[in-house]
Amino acid sequence: MNNVWNYHDKQLIKLKQTYNKTSKQTQNNLQNIFDSYKIDFKHLYNIADNKTLNRIKTKIEEWKDKGLLNGYFGMLANNIYKRTRVKNSEILELLIYGVYIEEQSKLKETELNLFKDVVNYYYQEGQKEVNQTLPKKRRKLVSVIPDAIFLALLDMQNEKGYVWKQYVEAIIKYNADQIYRQMLINMQQNKENNIDDSIYQNIITKQQNVKLSINQDKISGAVDNELIGLNNLAKVEGIKSVAEDNSKVRFIATIDGKETDMCHSLDGQTFYINKENEFDRYYGETQKDLRIERIKCFGLVVGLNLPPISHHFHYCRSTITYQVPVENEQKIEYNTIDYIRKNKYINSKNLDTNIKKAIKLLPKNIKELIRDTKVKTTNINSYYDRKNNTIYLLKDSNKYEVLHEIGHIIETKLDILHNEDYIKIQQNGLNIKNFNIDNIKGYDKQNEFWLDGNKFISDYQRRVYNQDIDGNFRLNYLNYTFNTKTLGEYFAEGFRCYFENNKLLKRKDIDLFNYIKEILK
């Protein structure tokens, strides 16, 4: 085990013991249901008799008294309670669901206390790391993590995109469904339902391991993953409570030959806590997809430059440490630039020509808007740096690629991304409650959300980013809708197409066509 995670690991080993003990009680409760509700499969979907209905209503009242009728489970239970005609299958399904709800109610306080204890440990570690670098007179007393910060961290999305409370609710439903389906299979085949049978034991073991698995010195599972993210976030908060605003942390990967290329590429890199970072790292969902990409983000983002690192599934146990300030630290240039703008444009003849061709197509007002924008070349990919108002272009960029990046300048300087008319145009024709995941050739999984609708003029226009310009995620987990503002290439690609294939844009997206036309007046 990595020594950094010793405290984390010791507490999870204790938690696993609690899980095992509680699981035995859950299995006994499931067996009681198997024994009490022995219904022939042919009667399973019949209306329950009054005696059975009264029993389930009494159980629902018991759950209500315990405060368990929340969320989806509460909705199902209340729906059954109000009805006079309920199927046997509905009652059976609810009873099994209730067993897992009761299990979690026993574990909730234990989990919350453990989370806070472990998170507080790493919060204090962050404070200690800073204090060790300061003269004694400047050191601050090590404090416990405030409840407000802890609860805020617990409510944050992790690198997999879910909030812990949402995960727990989803996994309870999933586990109950697994047991219910197996029970139906046994009933259909006239087999006895026995929780000790290997098929049930295999289901329960897998359920337990998904949440928390301990195999000798290897710890994994959702709890481990969630806590690693919380611990690193808490450590950052601890550092921030003591250190200066321009503080940095250093990424530390466990280099043992088993680390992923992603963590290996991040190992040793330093990142600002409260400033914009620009860095290179491997990206990709599978080993085959991995490639170096240029990343920009403000501060530290779990899954991006703060462990656990996302994409290409693995158990990530990397961490961060406070970076001691270096006097007269030399400025580090993270972006790879081959040529720097020297004259009116750059010292690349072909690209100069294409830039001039692109600008020639623009009206006077747009030329004035982009007049102070710098142009540099890169060998990674073309993009617009909003913060520094600089376009980075590949040396072989044609005039339409230049126009695409100019589109990003326009959307930034005119604040188009927050314009209500533009937002309506962007959402028009899209069903934000019905999206699909598919493959866009040439891009990794973070960009593989496809929306229903035929308004897009290119695959690249469909490109979806993890967050929009305001830091909001691509999915709203409260109502499970898609955030169209994360379609970061929508305007820029439309702007390019306006010049390259005017008729295509007009046919596919007349509203965007007219919007761009108005801007160019």
Of the candidates 327, 307, 328, 306, the residue with the CA atom closest to the CA atom of residue 317: 307
Do 59 and 125 have their domain in common? Answer: yes
Binned at pLDDT 50, 70 and 90, residue 264 comes out as confident
Give the count of domains, the chain: 3
Nearest-angstrom CA–CA distance, 298 and 276:
4
> For residues 230 and 154, is the Cβ–Cβ distance under 8 A?
yes
Sign of the alpha-carbon dihedral angle for 470, 474, 476, 482: positive
Nearest-angstrom CA–CA distance, 90 and 59:
14
Sign of the alpha-carbon dihedral angle for 494, 495, 498, 499: negative
- For residue 375, the surrounding DSSP H or E stretch is strand 374-377
Report the mean per-residue pLDDT for the chain. 84
Helix and strand numbers (H, E) in the chain are 16, 14
Q: Give the per-residue pLDDT at 53.
A: 94
Sole residue written with tokens 């699909």:
436
Do 299 and 353 have their domain in common? Answer: no
Q: If you average pLDDT over residues 126-148, what whole number do you get? A: 90
For residue 335, tell me if it sits in a domain: no
Q: Any alpha helices (H) in 243-370, and if so which ranges? A: 261-266, 349-360, 364-369
The residue type of 389 is N
**Residue 34 exposed, middle or buried by CB count within 10 Å (0-12, 13-18, 19+):** buried
Sole residue written with tokens 């990674």:
380
Structure tokens at 494: 């439309």
Do 299 and 409 have their domain in common? Answer: no
For residue 430, tell me if it sits in a domain: yes
For residue 122, tell me if it sits in a domain: yes
Do 314 and 366 have their domain in common? Answer: no
Of the candidates 170, 186, 306, the residue with the CA atom closest to the CA atom of residue 237: 306
Per residue in 300-357, pLDDT tens? 988 889 988 865 555 677 889 898 775 433 332 222 222 222 234 444 567 888 888 8
Lowest mean pLDDT among 106-115, 129-138, 170-179, 205-214: 129-138
Per residue in 64-82, pLDDT tens? 999 999 999 999 999 999 9
C-alpha 466, offset from chain centre: 7
Lowest mean pLDDT among 133-137, 226-230, 308-312, 318-322: 308-312
Nearest-angstrom CA–CA distance, 406 and 392:
11
Q: If you average pLDDT over residues 130-150, what whole number do you get? A: 90
**For the chain, how far is it from start to end, CA to CA, in angstroms?**
64
Lowest mean pLDDT among 41-55, 68-82, 333-347, 393-407: 333-347
Domain boundary among 167, 188, 222: 222
Lowest mean pLDDT among 129-133, 408-412, 437-441: 437-441
Sign of the alpha-carbon dihedral angle for 140, 143, 146, 152: positive
Whether residue 308 has a cis bond before it, omega within 30° of 0: yes
For residue 337, tell me if it sits in a domain: no
Nearest-angstrom CA–CA distance, 192 and 285:
43
Q: Give the per-residue pLDDT at 392.
A: 85
Binned at pLDDT 50, 70 and 90, residue 395 comes out as confident
> For residues 273 and 300, is the Cβ–Cβ distance under 8 A?
yes
Nearest-angstrom CA–CA distance, 91 and 456:
47
Q: Give the per-residue pLDDT at 356.
A: 87
Structure tokens at 471: 């830091």
Other C-beta atoms within 10 Å of 222: how many? 19
Q: What are phi and psi of 477, to 5 degrees?
A: -80, -10
Do 266 and 356 have their domain in common? Answer: no
> For residues 30 and 179, is the Cβ–Cβ distance under 8 A?
yes
Domain boundary among 169, 192, 222: 222
Other C-beta atoms within 10 Å of 237: how many? 21
Binned at pLDDT 50, 70 and 90, residue 138 comes out as confident
Nearest-angstrom CA–CA distance, 102 and 69:
11
Nearest-angstrom CA–CA distance, 401 and 392:
11
Nearest-angstrom CA–CA distance, 476 and 186:
39
For residue 338, tell me if it sits in a domain: no
Structure tokens at 256: 């043992």
For residue 232, tell me if it sits in a domain: no
Question: Taking 90 as the threshold, does the pLDDT of residue 387 lie above it?
Answer: no
Do 161 and 288 have their domain in common? Answer: no
Side-chain half-sphere exposure of 213, counting CA atoms within 13 A: 13
Question: Taking 90 as the threshold, does the pLDDT of residue 152 lie above it?
Answer: yes
The residue type of 460 is Y
Per residue in 90-104, pLDDT tens? 999 999 999 999 999
For residue 334, tell me if it sits in a domain: no
Q: If you average pLDDT over residues 181-199, what whole number do you get? A: 94
For residue 119, tell me if it sits in a domain: yes
Do 295 and 194 have their domain in common? Answer: no
Determine how β-strand 291-298 pairs with β-strand 276-283: antiparallel
List strand residue ranges (DSSP E) for 394-446, in order.
435-437
Nearest-angstrom CA–CA distance, 197 and 129:
52
Do 36 and 183 have their domain in common? Answer: yes
Q: Give the per-residue pLDDT at 31.
A: 96
Q: Give the per-residue pLDDT at 421.
A: 93
Q: At what angle do helices 222-242 and 147-154 cross, to 10 degrees?
A: 140
Domain interval for residue 399? 349-519
Domain boundary among 323, 341, 370: 323
**Residues pairing with 482 in the sheet:** 475
Q: Give the per-residue pLDDT at 3.
A: 66
Do 180 and 248 have their domain in common? Answer: no
Q: Give the per-residue pLDDT at 478.
A: 62
Do 218 and 248 have their domain in common? Answer: no
Per residue in 109-119, pLDDT tens? 999 999 999 99
Do 195 and 307 have their domain in common? Answer: no
Local structure of 393: helix, strand or coil:
strand
Cβ neighbours of residue 511 closer than 8 Å, sequence gap 6 or more: 425, 428
Exposure string for 276-294, b = 16+ CB within 10 A, e = fewer: ebbbbbbbbeeeeebeebb
C-alpha 117, offset from chain centre: 24
The residue type of 352 is D
Q: Give the per-residue pLDDT at 323.
A: 85
Do 296 and 367 have their domain in common? Answer: no
